[in-house]
A = this chain, B = another copy of it.
Amino acid sequence: MKENYTIKDIAELAGVSKGTVDRVIHKRGKVSPKALEQVNKVLDKIEYKPNPIAKSLKNNKIYNIAILLPDADADPYWLPCYEAIKQIEQEFSHFGIKINKGVFKPKSTKSFTKAADLVIAEKPDAVLMVPLFYKEAEHVAKMCVAAGIKIATFNNYIKEPQINLEIGQDLFQSGRVAAKLFNMLLGNKATLAVLHIDEAFQNASHMQEKERGFKDYFAQKELAYTINVHNIKKESKIPFDQTIENFLKSLDAVDGLFVTTSKAYLLANHIAAYLPKSFIIGYDLVAENIKYLEEDKIAFLIHQDPKKQVYLSLTNLIEFFLFDKPLQESLTLPIDIINTENYPQYLN
């Protein structure tokens, strides 16, 4: 009949008081067998779902969520994450949610560890982090588990079974998406280059997963593709842009270039001069990539939606704390294919 029964309703139906019903529901004991039976009889018939609103109204506990993420000044890829945090703070300002940012330099493991230590010292209820550095992140996860702090990751993965919530993209599959796009563009035979362009290689596992998926596609379809892998890293004293140009100079002709990081723009900058007929597929809607996408120097971008990742991670944690919603252990977001015509809507 009724939609939502309250504790009061149940108490009346069972002929006992609210307090007794509460004790039965929360299994606090101190209930006579008779009362227990009466209440359970009612609970069997109806479905009781406690009202989450009333619950959180009374709850004046403040939940502290720490978030460890890279500095957006160092890499604009992370900028949308900060917007998501701001949005969440506003949306949940009345629910007693505090978010504490631990910002680290994306090239420095020390900076990561320091930020983590600072943040954990305040004993938050949960830590959400970008586990850029494998070993260090594993250590943080273990520390959190030991301290009873919920631990969540986004954007990257570490193989730590105790992680409570993982949100990210299927990187292997995103490599396959890029492969399929090249396959559509180039047909059954071509020469491709996979480029891991990263100033510091902190994204090693990230990049390798994408490469694996990329190669897997062509292997599985048994296509006559030649695929060469190149690692491009900043050399001290030489500007990164110069390193890229030198690399392109020395590269044999290829039909397509797959850049596994957000640095496709560094390549696109010189593509017209050295490989005017090659297609570039890269990752991430950062401003510089969009510029070259619009100039048709980048064919496609794959969007990892960091904003959505943070937003989902945080709402999931918050609803766990406030409303006892279970944490979704692992959540894989769509792999968005971006071209000149559809990118604006993805920027919000």
Residues of A within 8 A of B (CB): 3-4, 49, 51-54, 56-57, 93-95, 170, 173-174, 176-177, 179-181, 184-185, 217, 299, 332-342, 345-346
User: Which residues of B are found within 8 Å of A333, using beta-carbon distances?
Assistant: 345
* A157, chain B: closest CB distance, angstroms: 16
Chain B CB count within 10 A is highest, among A170, A174, A345, for A345
> Does B341 contact A176, Cβ atoms closer than 8 Å?
yes
Q: With A177-B341, A180-B341, A334-B346 given, name 15 new contacts (CB 8 A).
A: A3-B93, A4-B93, A49-B93, A51-B57, A52-B94, A53-B56, A53-B95, A170-B345, A173-B341, A173-B342, A177-B339, A334-B336, A336-B337, A337-B338, A337-B342
The distance in angstroms between the C-alpha atoms of A93 and B5, with both chains bound, is: 11
Looking at chain A's contact residues, the main secondary structure is helix
> Does A53 contact B49, Cβ atoms closer than 8 Å?
no
User: Which residues of B are found within 8 Å of A95, using beta-carbon distances?
Assistant: 53
* A10, chain B: closest CB distance, angstroms: 16
Select A335's contact among B3, B49, B345, beta carbons within 8 Å: B345
The distance in angstroms between the C-alpha atoms of A335 and B341, with both chains bound, is: 9
> Does B94 contact A49, Cβ atoms closer than 8 Å?
yes
User: Which residues of B are found within 8 Å of A217, using beta-carbon distances?
Assistant: 341
The distance in angstroms between the C-alpha atoms of A154 and B203, with both chains bound, is: 41
* A255, chain B: closest CB distance, angstroms: 13
Q: A4-B94, A53-B53 are in contact. Are A180 and B345 (CB under 8 A)?
A: no
> Does B334 contact A345, Cβ atoms closer than 8 Å?
yes
> Does A94 contact B51, Cβ atoms closer than 8 Å?
yes
Closest B residue to A178 by beta carbon equals B341
The distance in angstroms between the C-alpha atoms of A93 and B335, with both chains bound, is: 32
* A189, chain B: closest CB distance, angstroms: 16
The distance in angstroms between the C-alpha atoms of A35 and B51, with both chains bound, is: 37
Select A334's contact among B94, B180, B342, beta carbons within 8 Å: B342
User: Which residues of B are found within 8 Å of A180, using beta-carbon distances?
Assistant: 339-341
> Does A184 contact B339, Cβ atoms closer than 8 Å?
yes
Q: A184-B185, A334-B345 are in contact. Are A54 and B57 (CB under 8 A)?
A: yes
User: Which residues of B are found within 8 Å of A177, using beta-carbon distances?
Assistant: 339, 341-342
> Does B337 contact A337, Cβ atoms closer than 8 Å?
yes
The distance in angstroms between the C-alpha atoms of A238 and B282, with both chains bound, is: 48
User: Which residues of B are found within 8 Å of A51, using beta-carbon distances?
Assistant: 57, 94
